[in-house]
Amino acid sequence: MMKFTNAVCETYNQTWVSIEQCRLRAIRRNKTVLNIDLTVHYPAHHIQVKFDWLKKASGYKPWLFAATIDACAFMRKPNNPVAKMLHNFFRNASTVNHTCPYMGLQQVKNFYVKPEQMLIPLPTGEYAIFLTWIFSGVPQFVTNVYFTFLEDLLKQ
């Protein structure tokens, strides 16, 4: 079972990207959804995403994956397996489903991960996914999502 515990979004450049909403909403005791609304004020043609998946162990430490991918190339041809898994999680809850350029309102609405979507067996623990969005070589904003994962020992 996976449950979001926190979401932090921060823009470095309000003139290019403004974040209207970045929050979690509890639906049920064991289900929390993520909502993000942001506006890209100018066309973004060259986008990279620095991706870090961390596990908490005396602070958050690099655990599974750390890389920078070309988001525009990925949207044309999804060739990175971890990025593809992450994109498959939120593609039905997001407007970020097309190739570059990106401009205007971009949303993630009522996003949560269904247990059958988890393709990687995770040990029980606290995790964080840090995404730094880089437009034309300059970091513009970050989206950091924290979650807990509890192994379902009855299914094994």
Over residues 69-83, mean pLDDT: 90
Number of domains in the chain: 1
| CATH number of the structural domain spanning residue 100 | 2.70.220.10
Average pLDDT over the chain reads 89
pLDDT at 119: 65
Over residues 77-103, mean pLDDT: 87
pLDDT at 118: 67
% of the chain with per-residue pLDDT over 90: 59
Task: Give pTM, 2 decimals.
Answer: 0.89
pLDDT at 154: 46
The residue range of the domain holding 96 is 2-155
**103 pLDDT tier (thresholds 50, 70, 90):** very high
> What does the chain look like in DSSP terms, one character per residue?
-EEEEEEEEEES-TTTEEEEEEEEEEEETTEEEEEEEEEEEEEE-SEEEEEEEEEESSSEEEEEEEEEEEHHHHHHS---HHHHHHHHHHGGGBS--SPSPEEEEEEEEEE---GGG--S---SEEEEEEEEEEETTEEEEEEEEEEEE---GGG-
Evaluate the omega torsion of the peptide bond into residue 101 and state whether it is cis, within 30 degrees of 0.
Answer: yes
The more confidently predicted of residues 37 and 80 is: 37
pLDDT at 48: 96
Burial 71-95 (b: 16+ CB within 10 A, else e): bbbbbeeeebeebeebbebbeebee
Amino acid at the residue 78: P
**153 pLDDT tier (thresholds 50, 70, 90):** low
State pLDDT tens for residues 111-151.
Answer: 988 766 666 677 889 999 999 999 999 999 999 999 998 87
CA 99 to chain centre: 17
pLDDT at 111: 92
pLDDT at 156: 46
pLDDT at 116: 67
